[in-house]
Chains A and B, each alone.
Chain A
Amino acid sequence: MSEETTPLTELLAEASIDLDASAASRDEAIRLAGAGLLAVGAIDESYVDAMIDRENSVSTFMGEGVAIPHGTLAAKDSVKSDALSLVRFPAGVDWDGNDVRIAFGIAAKGNGHIALLSQLATVLMDPEKAAALRAAETTEQVYALLESDEDE
């Protein structure tokens, strides 16, 4: 791989991980994912509203109980640095009819999101890894699952 891609594990700070959250609504879940990005100063607060705008436009549900809320193109200026947050909802969240267990908040400038999403999707395409991620209870487990295995 010659492309300069930042590993997911480097984009996801421990302060941006919440493995035991609950949310009564999709929007509340998105705000929690946004809070994880705010916690590391990756975004301005206005980005969180843009994440909800985006979700109203098209669902970011990816399958495997995972959603990837992120802002609109117009909100790119609210992104200070590329980052990822992870919020796990053991009891699930009703996400426009889908059962979401994990929300990855995504902040990306420029085209950084393409490589980021590609890495994330590659992990989730392995049903065993996706299931392990939904069940993860420690940050160590999360980091081990998100380790890049692009060499395979």
Chain B
Amino acid sequence: MSERTVTVASSVGLHARPASLFAQAAAKVGVPVTLTNAAGKSVNAASILGVLSLGIGHGETVTIAAEGDGADAALDTLAEVLNTDLDKEE
């Protein structure tokens, strides 16, 4: 099991647009990834509903975890997504 603890950079937190981009990215990495919020609640990172249900705000710390072949590469990719301010759209 590999893990990364990341601070959410998106200025409005992990809500609709960032949550959707993050879940899409998680669905593409090829290994199942779990997302856990600071309160310890875990969801499937590829589920938009799951990600939204955690209600993660800007600057909150989350943990992503995966296991198996490619887990580290997958987590590096997703950590990068979380480190980016996904709300910058203009």
- Give me the interface of A with B, judged by CB distance under 8 Å: 54, 57-60, 62-64, 68, 70, 72-74, 111, 113-115, 117-118, 120-122, 124-125
Contacts and interface: CB of A to CB of B under 8 A. Distances in A.
A111 B20 CA distance: 17
Given A58-B16, A68-B16, A125 B55 contact: no
Given A62-B52, A70-B16, A114-B15, 4 more contacts: A58-B16, A58-B20, A114-B56, A121-B50
B83 interface: no
Nearest to B48: A62
Contact of B15 (A59, A63, A113): A113
Contacts of A59: 20
Interface of B: 12-13, 15-17, 19-21, 47-58, 87, 89-90
A114 B87 contact: no
B7 to A, nearest CB: 16
Contacts of B48: 62-63, 121
A117 B55 contact: yes
A68 B19 CA distance: 13
Nearest to B52: A121
A121 to B, nearest CB: 4
A64 B17 CA distance: 17
Nearest to B55: A118
Nearest to A115: B55
